[in-house]
Amino acid sequence: MKPQRLLPLFLLASLPAWAEVNLLYRVDVQLQPDSRVQEMTRDILLEDDTDVARNRVRQLEYHPEWQKVSLLEAYTVLPDGRRVAVPPSAVADQPYSQSQDNPYTQNMRSLDVTFPQAQKGARVVYRFRTTSQLLALQARQGDFYPASVKNPRFVRFTLTAPHSLGLKVAANSAVAEQRLAAGRVQWQVQWQLAGDGTQPVPHFAYSAYRDWSALGQAYAQLWPQTQPSAAIKDKAAQLVAASNGDRLKEMQALYQWVAELPAQHLAYSSHALQPRAAEQAVVQGYGNSRDKVALLQALLAARGIDSYPQLARRQGRAMPLLPTGLAFDYVLLHVPAQGGLRAQWLDPAERVRAGAETTVSAVAEATPLPFGAGFSPALLGSPQLPLRAPYDPRLF
């Protein structure tokens, strides 16, 4: 089984949202159909003691199953201009300290870089390379959108990719394009910022997908098969035993059980892009929003109830410039009207409050994306992302 993958590291920003001044934030990406090599350079001015405490040690996190990280250079620039190199003894490869409580990320590691003589008025400068294996979906779309990098002054992003990928690009600054040898093309864009928060976040998007439906169809290929196994059929029968054949009660019982499973919060564009198999989620007893939707879909199918996953958008962040995964931070489950049941949008990632009446939530503030052939017909053919999903606001 292939390991679950992350979307591009620069989407995660991998960097805490602190108040230091980022004099230079540079990202250079070499893209291939199944891999990405990214070099990042940062030059951070430490303006006060808080900045010093937070930046004396920088963590370069990675997933060892499909990523490698190499520190290329690191040094401190003292207030008088002298440069003090980070010695090899000040670089430690160890378990990532912020991931141990989350089962999806507990295998992550980080290179912890300790900068010598970090002090007020100094700068910490470092450059590192991350090599990542990619799913096809990840190589064919993405965004550079460093929203969590505070007080940036100069930002530059470079993307180099095979022309055969058919990428289109867009940015909120001028893009320079150059054809290279061996059938490759390079795009570069830069931003000079005042750091006062009045200018938009730098944004560069690339996508090989012609519209949102094409992106949805590509994501659908990562989705588990909906044909329930014998184990899932047995589990579903156990959960609905008290429903006396009432389809509505069966759906409520299945929904409540899945919603009660512990849910680790993971942004859509970060960990576990590909849902786990329903059997795995049952055995392990937890799931993120994708896992829970896939599990509930399989359980419903075991009882003869059709349902379809839909990419969704709940947070009010910026819309991407092209069809990319930046638009989505959630997955919902659409149950179309059938057999006396009204159409519903289900959110099994939300845990049911103890003692609460068993109801199935209808999600109003979500924008689904049509997955394409074989998935929900509710929004098929829409070339644009709708402003709001059709939903039934009435509870059962």
Q: Considering the entire predicted model, what is its pTM?
A: 0.79
- The helix (H) or strand (E) run that includes residue 214 is helix 212-220
**Cα 4 from Cα 279, distance rounded (Å):** 16
Please give the pLDDT value at position 196: 76
Whole-number Cα distances in Å, 332 to 61, 79, 131, 253, 290: 30, 52, 32, 18, 8
207 token code pair:
């996508």
Q: Which of 94-108, 138-152, 204-218, 306-320 has the lowest mean pLDDT?
A: 306-320
How large is the average pLDDT for residues 11-15? Answer: 34
Give the pLDDT score at 346. 80
CA dist list (Å): 348 to 82, 243, 262, 332, 365: 56, 19, 11, 8, 15
Helix (H, G, I), strand (E, B) or coil at 343: coil
Strand pairing category for 83-85 and 21-32:
unpaired
> In this predicted model, what pLDDT tens digit does every residue of 58-106 receive, in sequence order?
999 998 988 999 999 999 999 999 999 999 999 999 998 776 667 767 7
Closest by Cα among 95, 102, 17, 30 to 63: 95
* Euclidean distance between CA atoms 322 and 311, whole angstroms: 16
pLDDT tens for 30-50 read 999 999 999 999 999 999 999
Name the range with the highest mean pLDDT among 133-142, 284-293, 330-339: 133-142
Contact 130, 69 (CB under 8 A): yes
Higher pLDDT: 197 or 251? It is: 251
Return the pLDDT at 254. 94
- Phi and psi angles of residue 320, each rounded to the nearest 5 degrees, phi first: -70, 160
**What are the backbone dihedrals phi and psi of residue 130, each rounded to the nearest 5 degrees, phi first?**
-120, 120
> What would the pLDDT profile of 307-326 be if each residue is shown by its tens digit?
887 776 665 555 678 888 87
Give pLDDT tens digits for 19-28.
679 999 999 9
- pLDDT value at position 205? 94
